[in-house]
Amino acid sequence: MTLSVHAAMTLNATLSRTVGLSYAAFPLRIIELFQWSDGDALNKASKLYVAQNVSLPTGDSDVYDLIGGGLTDALGTSVSWTKIKGIYIKNETATAQQITMTTTISQLSGETIPYGGAVFKMYRDATAFALAANEDSITIANGDGTTATYTIALIGV
């Protein structure tokens, strides 16, 4: 099995103002492209896990154990990770419901993700977030309110 990844972040914005007869505009165009081919080095990855539209009731949490947690990829292959190179988590909830991402991975910080918000972290280097025993899980929690819905995608080795 091989993996090819193309992840992009695009920011297009224009700040403009009219004063009298003058018009001024400042266009901003930022495109950050991450590409990995199959492998275990700089700009390489070999594993992909995706869970879309996951329903998470109030007060519940989902724990993703990346070393021994029984995750399977979209083709039904069991995945066990040594490094995480890409993380995407989107709160798909349509109401004012936030979710929280916490982790035991020492180099990665937790995030509170408001409804409609997303976390997008990508790393090209060979080591990225190295995993170790007891430093290998990501938890998505729904503290209060209504049922939340989210999508998670993980890229790594």
The C-alpha atoms of residue 66 and residue 73 are separated, in whole angstroms, by 12
Domain harbouring 76, CATH code: 2.60.120.10
Tokens 């918000």 locate to 117
Average pLDDT, the chain: 91
Residue 72 lies in a domain: yes
Q: Which residues are CB-neighbours of 115 under 8 A, at least 6 positions away?
A: 91, 93, 94, 95, 96, 97, 98, 148
Is 69 inside a domain boundary? yes
pLDDT confidence of residue 153: 96
122: in domain: yes
**More confident position, 94 or 62:** 62
Q: What is the pLDDT at residue 66?
A: 92
Residue matched to tokens 């170790």: 132
User: Is there a domain that residue 26 lies in?
Assistant: no
Separation of alpha carbons 128 and 151, rounded Å: 22
- Residue-wise pLDDT tens digits, 96-151: 889 999 999 988 889 999 999 999 999 888 888 889 888 889 999 998 788 999 99
User: What digits encode the pLDDT tens for the residues 33-61?
Assistant: 889 999 989 999 999 999 999 999 999 99
Range(s) of the domain holding residue 70? 39-156
Burial of 29 (0-12, 13-18, 19+ CB in 10 A): exposed
Structural domains of the chain, count: 1
For residues 19 and 122, the model is more confident at 122
**What value does the mean pLDDT take over residues 80-96?**
92
Using pLDDT thresholds of 50, 70 and 90, give the confidence band for residue 70. confident
5 part of a folded domain: no
Report the pLDDT value the prediction gives residue 1, as an integer from 0 to 100: 77
Residue 41 CB neighbours (<10 A): 12
